[in-house]
Structure 1
């Protein structure tokens, strides 16, 4: 799901000689949908004849809207607002310290209230006396407090953009709900209308634009002497929960306790226990309404209170939800627009009582289970390699490293599709600190660079090496470097035996691809998943283009000309023999 917002903006000059308010909204690009929306309203301080208040308001809003979606993906929303506005404040403060025209002091000052909508939460940043409001279920709440002092000997802002070298912003955050109406106003609106009047207009006026128009018109009719600006945001639908939302659920909800077959969790009826590795439990369950089977992944009771494990499970759910958006976010999508290379994860249900992940259930077998019956032939391995390489290319394009590619994490469903399982230790730009510090993976599939001193961090090449080891094992039944224990660098001192030497039926082109993927020297391997995928697709295309050899025809009687030809050849051979051996 994606945000569905109805927006309305109205800004009236009123009795002022010029309008020094400025407001705007910035939507994310399609491939940045998880970064959310941002809106801001600024009220320039009228202190000079050169329009510096308008300049301060306009540049502050525009710089925030322009740069919000360009910050690093691992920045928290409040951090992004604080740093972007802090840089703008430093620029305004430096501008104000330079002499103005005719020696007058510069006064490029502005209030600013900004709101970012990300996942299912909002984050506010505020300075000055513009305001933010929230109308929910008929109740109107003021979300900000004015930074203004009113005394007989002084009236003015105590905080504003450009007033001081250091900016002190008020920050707040909260959950969003469908039907929420957010409102940003300049003091030309709330200075003329009481909070009750604003609430009545918000409740009574359908449509965001109509509500914004009604507020500014009412403010001028009530005698406002200032510019009147109102920005209304109606939340019609919410996006899938973001990482911050999921992390908050992980901190607040308990983990499920022991669940025997037949137990019910939030409507899911447990039908089977699938796996338990001491850290996570995997259960099969049936959905309450559709009756479909799903997989529930949750923390083992012994790890249920570990905040780091909770953060990593929240990150795994978040990655799964991003992959579910693949058809609409082209950089995540496959060439056919699908995301079938991964198991779809479901967003947490409203009203969930415990913290766990819900995945689609796919019957079938992992590669590890298939290999228990022996190695696979080339015709079976080639589609496996192509599917997994395509999935890795999607992950790597988004800056994600799986870190645990192995036969146990590759699954072929009953629909014939190969899928990559378990993003629990995957690294992304927003991975929790515990995941970054964890030396994850299965030793026999980890590339040698991670064992050297000092070790190199895992990267896209680590996944490609692990895939190469997996393909080698699938074709030969053996690991290229044998069973590896941590720090056994001696195992990597020579190249492994070629695949075709161990399994002569493997075609040489496939042998070369696999041996390149597991090469001892990283410089000899594939650099990207796309390069490996291209090599596999070329091999598959060439195999399909070569026509099959026709079967031998059944024996037929020789024709007369065939008999005559055979007799002629035989007589010529006899004549040659007689000439060679004729006594001289």
Structure 2
């Protein structure tokens, strides 16, 4: 079922001269419908006539920027970053005003995503949930105002009040038929929770919002009255929490053989068995197109951490592969009536880079450059969403029959939403892991770029820059890799310098972003990167100076003994 809502909005200034309330909603842009929608309401605080300015800029900024944040960010992380930035901007403007009052506002924001909602709240605007007209509306927020009757209009928290703002967050489940109501204090200050529920469910959402405002003003409201009504008529695409729910509900299927059926998918081949995962080729029950099905090996079926990692991979894959040119294999939405835990991918004929290296000669430079640009662009898209792959290597780079390079296997990727066990896992293939990780540093975007550099070096040279690395063999990194142009004279010098820069031992000498690497590859010889500098001995081997000093000391002591014992005085 697609995500569908009925939205109604009404606002009246009431007895006030100016309406300083502001509210709005924004749906996710085309192609990102799975991100749902965001709604917000703000009530400007009038101290010098700038309340409307504060409310309007806060709501419009939040609605304009929310869907520009990475899709993989958890909603509270995106809201916190945006609200914090708006608060700092408003507080700074308030400090600059001299005798002209301040611009403050309350804010209540609601994000509907998947089968869940997320609330962010500052001040005394409110959010309500209504499921039955016969029951009182359920308040989802708590006012940030003084409890004394004479001070209830005085806020303890507001956007723009201080340099730092503390935001309340809440999350919960959404069902079809739920009604969410955002109100300013001009509405909920005059109506009881029972009345809120009854009026909000009258007619359409627009009629319900108008009924709320009319009833509040008729009940004697002395403030601006604003109501935003959102009725859920269809749920959105699945989110990570939904995938984790399947982890608890579903079990991986038993080992399958050719001809077996899995929820309508006809198994046509077993592609791989890693001991942790099984990968099958299958035929789609409706389109009859080939797909790939990934599930857990029966020996790992009961491992809750492996199941959570598979759920995370499915959720992450849906997000990063939404675009046709994403550079990742598209993941299919799991059917609501799925009987087992598995992930379905598009099937692409072709071979991985590892397979190409085993069956053919070392890559031609033009071929390597084209592939590197495509892969680096895909990595850039991944990193801009806050995701680190952690296992870039030839086996996870695939050239399809359509001529496109794709990155495979997000099973150990970090998105900020993964479980603790996955986050603490020292993932990756040792020979492609940057030296800093062996010294305790966390994986980051630079780790992926180093691994890509190692892959390119191996593709061109036919060998790894630092040789086969076993865990904690740091001695391998005490020498600079041989120049590619010495191994292959046909490799242009600019490409030699570029690849050596990508695999430099010192992270400060490497490319900082995938975009920088892409730019260097596209410019090529027209604007080449400089040759990498030789790493000083003290950085290659911090104990080298101690060793040299010890050797010199031993030599001097030997000479002294020789002089004392054997030479005439």
| TM-score, length-scaled by structure 2 | 0.70
- What is the rounded CA distance, in whole Å, between the counterparts of 1:159 and 1:269 in structure 2? 65
Which ranges of structure 1 fall in alignment gaps of 5 or more residues? 45-49, 90-108, 149-153, 328-337, 543-584
- 1:409 Cα offset (Å): 0.3
- What is the rounded CA distance, in whole Å, between the counterparts of 2:342 and 2:498 in structure 1? 40
Residues 474-553 of structure 1 mapped to structure 2, 5 A cutoff: 474-539=459-524
Is the 1:448–1:492 contact (alpha carbons within 8 Å) kept by the matching residues of 2?
Answer: yes
Aligned partner (choices 443, 449, 453) of residue 458 of structure 1: 443
- What is the rounded CA distance, in whole Å, between the counterparts of 1:82 and 1:535 in structure 2? 35
**Does 2:128 align with 1:132?**
yes
- 1:232 Cα offset (Å): 1.2
- What is the rounded CA distance, in whole Å, between the counterparts of 2:482 and 2:426 in structure 1? 28
Deviations 1:282-320 (A, max 9, x none): 222222221222222223334344443344333323332
- What is the rounded CA distance, in whole Å, between the counterparts of 2:86 and 2:403 in structure 1? 55
Is the 2:127–2:180 contact (alpha carbons within 8 Å) kept by the matching residues of 1?
Answer: no
- 1:416 Cα offset (Å): 1.4
Alpha carbons of 1:499 and 1:244: their partners in 2 closer, same or farther (altered >3 Å)?
A: same
**Does 2:405 align with 1:406?**
no
Question: SS of the counterpart of 1:346?
Answer: coil
Residues 256-295 of structure 1 mapped to structure 2, 5 A cutoff: 256-261=252-257, 262-295=259-292
- What is the rounded CA distance, in whole Å, between the counterparts of 1:88 and 1:392 in structure 2? 30
- What is the rounded CA distance, in whole Å, between the counterparts of 1:139 and 1:279 in structure 2? 52
Residues 164-175 of structure 1 mapped to structure 2, 5 A cutoff: 171=170, 173-175=172-174
Deviations 1:217-238 (A, max 9, x none): 3565688888654211244665
Counterpart of 1:573? none
Counterpart of 1:249? 245
- What is the rounded CA distance, in whole Å, between the counterparts of 1:463 and 1:75 in structure 2? 19
Counterpart of 1:8? 8
Is the 2:393–2:451 contact (alpha carbons within 8 Å) kept by the matching residues of 1?
Answer: yes
Counterpart of 2:538? none
**Does 2:442 align with 1:448?**
no
Question: SS of the counterpart of 1:343?
Answer: coil
- 1:57 Cα offset (Å): 11
Residues 428-443 of structure 1 mapped to structure 2, 5 A cutoff: 428-443=415-430
- What is the rounded CA distance, in whole Å, between the counterparts of 1:531 and 1:170 in structure 2? 37
- What is the rounded CA distance, in whole Å, between the counterparts of 2:105 and 2:500 in structure 1? 64
Counterpart of 2:156? 162
Question: SS of the counterpart of 1:516?
Answer: helix
Is the 1:110–1:128 contact (alpha carbons within 8 Å) kept by the matching residues of 2?
Answer: no
Is the 1:131–1:142 contact (alpha carbons within 8 Å) kept by the matching residues of 2?
Answer: no
| TM-score, length-scaled by structure 1 | 0.68
Aligned partner (choices 314, 320, 324) of residue 323 of structure 1: 320
Question: SS of the counterpart of 1:372?
Answer: helix
Counterpart of 1:567? none
- 1:405 Cα offset (Å): 1.1
Question: SS of the counterpart of 1:182?
Answer: strand
Is the 2:28–2:34 contact (alpha carbons within 8 Å) kept by the matching residues of 1?
Answer: no
- 1:421 Cα offset (Å): 0.5
Counterpart of 1:115? 110
- What is the rounded CA distance, in whole Å, between the counterparts of 2:129 and 2:154 in structure 1? 19
Is the 2:187–2:227 contact (alpha carbons within 8 Å) kept by the matching residues of 1?
Answer: yes
Counterpart of 2:342? 356
Alpha carbons of 1:434 and 1:23: their partners in 2 closer, same or farther (altered >3 Å)?
A: farther
Question: SS of the counterpart of 1:405?
Answer: coil
Question: SS of the counterpart of 1:384?
Answer: helix
- 1:407 Cα offset (Å): 1.0
Which stretch shows the higher mean deviation, 71-80 or 416-425? 71-80
Is the 1:81–1:125 contact (alpha carbons within 8 Å) kept by the matching residues of 2?
Answer: yes
- What is the rounded CA distance, in whole Å, between the counterparts of 1:88 and 1:175 in structure 2? 28
**Does 2:356 align with 1:370?**
yes
- 1:400 Cα offset (Å): 2.6
**Does 2:137 align with 1:142?**
yes
- What is the rounded CA distance, in whole Å, between the counterparts of 1:474 and 1:82 in structure 2? 43
- What is the rounded CA distance, in whole Å, between the counterparts of 2:46 and 2:494 in structure 1? 71
Is the 2:186–2:226 contact (alpha carbons within 8 Å) kept by the matching residues of 1?
Answer: yes
- What is the rounded CA distance, in whole Å, between the counterparts of 1:455 and 1:167 in structure 2? 33
- 1:406 Cα offset (Å): 0.9
Question: SS of the counterpart of 1:284?
Answer: strand
- 1:346 Cα offset (Å): 2.2
Is the 2:25–2:38 contact (alpha carbons within 8 Å) kept by the matching residues of 1?
Answer: yes
- 1:442 Cα offset (Å): 0.5
Residues 196-345 of structure 1 mapped to structure 2, 5 A cutoff: 205-206=203-204, 208-217=205-214, 228-235=225-232, 239-246=236-243, 248-261=244-257, 262-326=259-323, 338-339=325-326, 341-345=327-331
Is the 2:116–2:171 contact (alpha carbons within 8 Å) kept by the matching residues of 1?
Answer: no
Is the 1:131–1:186 contact (alpha carbons within 8 Å) kept by the matching residues of 2?
Answer: no
**Does 2:23 align with 1:24?**
yes
Which ranges of structure 2 fall in alignment gaps of 5 or more residues? 88-103, 159-164, 528-569
Alpha carbons of 1:159 and 1:242: their partners in 2 closer, same or farther (altered >3 Å)?
A: farther
- What is the rounded CA distance, in whole Å, between the counterparts of 1:82 and 1:474 in structure 2? 43
Deviations 1:83-111 (A, max 9, x none): 9999999xxxxxxxxxxxxxxxxxxx999
- 1:173 Cα offset (Å): 0.8
- 1:401 Cα offset (Å): 2.3
Which protein shows a greater Rg?
1
Q: How many residues align?
A: 501
Alpha carbons of 1:161 and 1:4: their partners in 2 closer, same or farther (altered >3 Å)?
A: farther
- What is the rounded CA distance, in whole Å, between the counterparts of 1:513 and 1:194 in structure 2? 68
- 1:441 Cα offset (Å): 0.8
Alpha carbons of 1:131 and 1:181: their partners in 2 closer, same or farther (altered >3 Å)?
A: closer
Alpha carbons of 1:76 and 1:156: their partners in 2 closer, same or farther (altered >3 Å)?
A: farther
- What is the rounded CA distance, in whole Å, between the counterparts of 2:482 and 2:84 in structure 1? 59
- 1:509 Cα offset (Å): 4.2
Residues 100-111 of structure 1 mapped to structure 2, 5 A cutoff: none
Counterpart of 2:379? 392
Is the 2:138–2:193 contact (alpha carbons within 8 Å) kept by the matching residues of 1?
Answer: no
